Structure 1
């Protein structure tokens, strides 16, 4: 079993990264609350998609989305937003709309940013969505990974939890990616509300442990590894507070023994002082060693949603371009920190800004 990531040369592949996941319209009330809003700013977002968009817009890589939309005006608005982000939609399926959304629709996600002692809050409206109705056989994975070529494939536990069929779609995709020597990353992203409808935590562990057999780079925090894979972190209380990083490291060492196919793992470390002030950093385990990012104490946050996805995108960029875990964890942590300074799920920063932060640059005005 290799201990390091083998990456296909870019000239052999059409895409640097492809993500499988659902994209919703995010409706953002800005500084007010959902329950009192009179207008909303519209963004697009989705845990797996955010990685592809960040790698395209911030880092300039060739990325694509595998997903599905109901073919109506809301779906076409999502399409317009995705194309503005430069993400290829060749593998997006358009499904006929029934006129009412009785059987198929597009997802919405109402999201408050939070402030001070009031935490961020999401209120998703995503039942019967087109992406959740994808099933095995709908996507020609052999054509994507074999004929066209993909260096890195990314998906996650949010998409796997959407319906009775999406776990099998994920399993089909990751197994095919491995047959074609494509690196697979998976963000566990445990959401109890999603798994509740299809079997709860028991189903979450059954599905995620099967998917984990084909994963090279596993991403998740202490709750994710516990709920999705059944690993316990010593000394963590019922609220998942008081995390001792050394105990988390021991849990990762146990995980990689059980799943020797994990060539790398990554996690963000966040201590929440208030909704708008967090301590922020990250750890990557790779080739038997732990690598810590620089620390971002008392980081001021405008919108925390998507910070973890931007960490994942930056980490992937670091591995794709340098193969160096120390660089990867710092690209990830810096990109995630910067993404939380702007509204919306997706990054609005540039590679130059990320590298400036990585090298100790400050927040003085740039003229």
Structure 2
């Protein structure tokens, strides 16, 4: 078993550079990428890759960064790809991020200075108990941090730096992919799979150090459109059927045990994420999630039954329900290529961590990449409390993620 050489990590410096660049994506935009500012980070990544000697690094018209680290072995090693997304969530501001480092964390509350109501407490962030003595990076209290997924970006970039500067680390051809718009579900819409030419991929976009995810939700979107009856409110008795109120009744009837706040582990849900409307017409957008694909249909039928029940009281109103496929559980694909997950678990162990195979109550770029021909589990990046002002990551966890990437490169070469 090959060991890693002594490494001078660059991951923290890179991360601190990347998070101050606003890369928030926009679900209302129809462009690719959804926001032009995401390319600002893409251009910096290309520049840094070229500077360390990755000669084919480039940014395409859709905001994707592609790069290749050539093989340095005579073995015929399958091409593997490492992937992270550059955008941050629309749920919380990513403008004016001020990263702060709490060194040698000792279990204390971390009060974020720009809003002292934002406090990281051990009982609310249980993984902090594994960080005693580590260095915790947070934002200042008014923005998210952007560890989701700039931690993954920085880890892959540092791994590239180490591979170039340590030719004794033997590996096959390594492809690098940085994507825009993952947070709004379009992260791989314009990926050129043929151009990547990889056999397997790994997204670096997971939470606790040591975790690897081979299973995601399957996901659909649903739009419920309600057609009510509008009249002048002064003369509305017996005539008006407000689409807004009908929408409210439907939302109120969603059962607790079919809602995100009432489910956990392997339980799915139906979740309203947006409402727009007037008296005459209203729309509710839902996300429907479950690990078992066949249950998505059951959840949609439950939503339809609620709408039917409510509309029965409004004889002159109607509704329509449109279901749109979003992504599917990648486990069915990964089970056909067990070595991809096995090598990932082995790499985590070689990095000195307890490896844990998990299911994620969400999705990653890897969910869709797997069904596009690139089987792609998800490896920890160390990010926590994502999409919030209390988002954090530790320096040491990011360094372990870099080591995991490097061990993966070596394992694929060893087993070839």
- TM-score over 0.5 for the alignment? no
What is the TM-score normalised by the length of structure 1?
0.28
Q: Greater relative contact order (Cα 8 A, min sep 6): structure 1 or 2?
A: 2
What is the TM-score normalised by the length of structure 2?
0.26
Whose radius of gyration is greater, 1 or 2? 2
